[in-house]
Amino acid sequence: MTRASSLIFAIALTAAAARTSAQPAAWTDHGYVSAGADVRVVATNFGDVIHPIDFAEAAVVNTTYKMRIAPGIEIGGGARVWRNLAIGAAATWVSRPDAGSVDAQVPHPFVFGKPRAVSGDASLGRHETAVHVQAVWMMPLTARWQLAVAGGPSWVSLRQDLVDDVTVTQTYPYDTATYAGVHSQRVSKSRAGFNAGVDATYLFRPRVGVGVSAAFSRARIPLSPSASTDVGGLHVNGGLRVRF
């Protein structure tokens, strides 16, 4: 079990115990709307190895893409369809430049089979947009506290900067080279995945409150013949919660 799924399971188990002891009433609202700040706190690094042609010879460029904590926003809503069950959807946007670690073997301009080793870091943009369709089970714990457990399919779109070559500085006789940066291209792909999470809401008004949630989503997106990445991960969200 991953750390993300363990966290969600623990929150759900604690909430279930609290619900049993509190003996809450049935959920009677018609639906809900939510909006707030979202933070991706766990994501998966990935790597890629490419062989661009420089000086009529194939270079070797090995890039490790390192995902950072990334801020975003989330909005969602849904309607009750039966007892405590609602059907809803949420949309999330996460965007931040991530780090890339580059190690390359660059061909010599005059001598075949005599590559020069260079390495360095690069800033590579990553933008994730996801739509999560959810079955939501609402549990009123007290008059002011509500907890929701949700899950369902997701559709995730990714725009990722991929390194396609390195730039170097070099001087005669060109036996060594110094890393100067990268050339990159932006790749856009989308895939289906899944999501699951829990949300705790405190209503300071009968139908208006604030909430915090932990959610895990995952989709696998191929970016190139040699690279794929997991998108989603563990997200923490906090913001406005409205019942109607």
Question: Which pLDDT score, from 0 to 100, does residue 42 have?
Answer: 77
**CB 214, CB 147: distance < 8 Å:** no
What is the distance of C-alpha 171 from the center of its chain?
42
Q: How far apart are CA 185 and CA 144, in angstroms?
A: 50
Query: Quick one: how many helices (H) and strands (E) in the chain?
Result: 1, 12
Question: Which pLDDT score, from 0 to 100, does residue 44 have?
Answer: 80
Question: Which pLDDT score, from 0 to 100, does residue 96 have?
Answer: 85
Question: Which pLDDT score, from 0 to 100, does residue 6 have?
Answer: 54
Q: Tens of pLDDT along the chain (244 residues)? A: 455 445 555 555 555 544 444 455 799 999 999 999 999 887 789 999 999 999 999 999 999 999 888 899 999 999 999 999 999 999 999 998 888 999 999 999 999 999 999 999 999 999 999 999 999 999 999 999 999 999 999 999 999 999 999 999 999 999 999 999 999 999 999 999 999 999 999 999 999 999 999 999 999 999 999 999 999 999 999 999 999 9
Q: How far apart are CA 134 and CA 53, in angstroms?
A: 47
**CB 208, CB 242: distance < 8 Å:** yes
Which residue type does 182 have?
V
**CB 118, CB 179: distance < 8 Å:** yes
State the pTM of this model: 0.84
Can you say whether the dihedral through the CA atoms of 5, 42, 242, 23 is positive or negative? positive
134 Cβ contact list (under 8 Å, min separation 6): 76, 78, 87, 88, 89, 90, 150, 151, 152, 195
Q: How far apart are CA 127 and CA 99, in angstroms?
A: 13
Q: What domains, with CATH codes, occur in the chain?
A: 3-243 (2.40.160.20)
